Chains A and B, each alone.
Chain A
């Protein structure tokens, strides 16, 4: 079973502060991490490998310092990594082409696991875009995956209902946070990860297309959170009524 896991290095969004005057997020000095659901994707891949054998390749489009984070994934249980440094201007379209191009270069794969979305941009586009470019089936928002001899059976979390769906190989699956609890690597696994390879493939190695971004990011602004500081302190019943009215007025209650 050849498995590819897409993993993105992101800023730890919980650590982002917003500049109160410019409203811009302060990204300098914010620690980097692997996007949460990508770790769920790897955990699921490891489970499949433990049962069916095979090889897990991590695929990352990112800056050279992403290697340090990729090593954590090798320590968790992936076998090797491929890092593709992105061109200066890259959007979902460009990155999906790079990832799909790398997969074509790898050539043989049975399952591609992705997180349902990344914690920084949360577009949820990457999995579906790659599946489209590779022209293979996709199962999104999987909260349970069972790999059988010739097919994958997955339960998709569609909010109010779950849909069970199956697909032959190769297939791309995006997973939700609920699917599993990513393992922590042991000290021995951390030591062993130093001998696992991380290859660096230039973008020109994975696609010959001239990739032009289709999306232009104009600006990024933080959402200011200001308290209204309204204190209700007289009659309790009256106060509750006023609070409900106020919440309805600002659209919290409908």
Chain B
């Protein structure tokens, strides 16, 4: 009776090229990223050398079109890269995600031809690392509460204000900065600018001492009468809020991929450890309590990964993906947190020490529920899409 069913062409697997990219990055991450991760985390040291190697492989220009020096790849290829890098080092993973989706993407999407020609090749080659500066001490989830101002004087905007929690802050060379150009227009009074770290009045503030992702240095950026050429306005005056929200939609897919990478690492470590650790005369993997934890972790990770691929797929089709990105980020980050809690539990006392990778994963996972929109904000986005 099922003979006349025609199989639909839906395929839940990567294509050949995407698999090659994933395999290449997996090998790179194992050989070049993994050996440094613990040390960089301990010292809070930025992975400069790793980023140079990644640039040579094209990993800093994954989504940047080929005409501007990038690889011009789709979002699915991009998320596999972020996942595989994050699986070995979540700090390097978030730097990659921010560089590609929060710095390069808004220039690709909203930049003028001159801006694209000037900035995208530099980002694609990794000559400068990209950052995104929206958050302020009193404007986190509530972007509309921003206090940083930009006033046009002659051919320059003069920007004043403080930004905080900026990933790659101390090292970034090209930063997308948001500021108020019309304080009476509410969120429509926000504008976006492309800033270079060499601009007069640009200053890096304190570097935060964080719980995790220590190698991705996070800092304040302080602007005091910073002079920004008029042509560095991204889009039009008043476009800032729209640019920020659409950029963060894409960024969330990257962070979701980072979370899947962290969760996968927690599972990898747990499987290896539980087979080797013996208690009561047999490997702990033989105990059902451990088996169930492993099964639950693996199931949620698989689901999270498919949500990430789904959001990436819808983005690549050119459709609205805000809800799907929020769902992927919400589910993947909570999956990462659950996975690392189980992973430390499986490792017992050893998992609580810095000798074991799961201790770092435990600290790294938490941020995925906070940055680029907290889990609460993701639920707001999802429900707003459903309830209007």
Contact = CB atoms under 8 A, between A and B. Distances in A.
A188 B58 contact: yes
Chain A contact patch, size range: 10 to 19
Contact of A187 (B19, B23, B27, B73): B73
Nearest to B23: A72
B59 A187 contact: yes
Contact of B24 (A68, A185, A194): A185
B166 to A, nearest CB: 27
A187 B16 contact: no
A188 B71 contact: yes
B16 A191 contact: no
Contacts of A75: 20, 24
A41 to B, nearest CB: 18
B17 A186 contact: no
Contacts of B17: 190-191, 194
B189 to A, nearest CB: 40
B58 A71 contact: no
A190 B20 contact: yes
B57 interface: yes
Contacts of B61: 187
A184 interface: yes
Nearest to B21: A190
B233 to A, nearest CB: 31
Chain B contact patch, size range: 10 to 19
Interface string A59-92: 0000000001001100100000000000000000
Contact of B58 (A72, A187, A193): A187
B183 interface: no
A240 B251 CA distance: 59
B57 A68 contact: no
Nearest to A181: B31
Nearest to B62: A187
Interface in B2-59: 16-17, 19-21, 23-24, 27-28, 56-59
Contacts of A194: 17
Nearest to B81: A187
A218 B73 CA distance: 49
Contact of A184 (B16, B24, B73): B24
A72 B23 CA distance: 9
A185 B27 CA distance: 11
Contacts of B20: 71-72, 75, 185, 190, 193
A187 B124 CA distance: 12
A184 B28 contact: yes
A193 B24 CA distance: 13
A186 B58 contact: yes
A75 B56 CA distance: 14
Contact of B57 (A72, A187, A191, A193): A187
A71 B16 contact: yes
Nearest to B27: A184
Contacts of B27: 184
Contacts of B62: 187
Interface in A167-223: 184-188, 190-191, 193-194
A186 B59 CA distance: 8
Contacts of A191: 17, 71, 73
B121 to A, nearest CB: 14
A194 B73 CA distance: 14
A71 B15 CA distance: 13
A75 B23 CA distance: 12
A184 B59 CA distance: 12
Contacts of B77: 187
Interface in B205-260: none
A71 B19 CA distance: 11
Contact of B56 (A71, A72, A186, A193): A186
Interface in B60-105: 61-62, 71, 73, 77
Contacts of B71: 187-188, 191
A27 to B, nearest CB: 20
A72 B73 CA distance: 18
A12 B17 CA distance: 20
**Which of A75, A184, A193, A194 has the most C-beta atoms of chain B within 10 angstroms of its own C-beta?**
A184
A60 to B, nearest CB: 16
A193 B19 CA distance: 13
Contacts of B21: 187, 190
Interface in A36-73: 68, 71-72
Given A186-B57, A190-B20, 15 more contacts: A68-B19, A72-B20, A185-B24, A185-B57, A186-B58, A187-B24, A187-B57, A187-B59, A187-B62, A187-B73, A187-B77, A190-B24, A191-B71, A191-B73, A193-B20
13 contacts: A68-B19, A75-B24, A184-B24, A184-B27, A185-B20, A185-B24, A185-B57, A187-B24, A187-B59, A187-B61, A190-B17, A190-B20, A193-B20
Interface of A: 68, 71-72, 75, 184-188, 190-191, 193-194
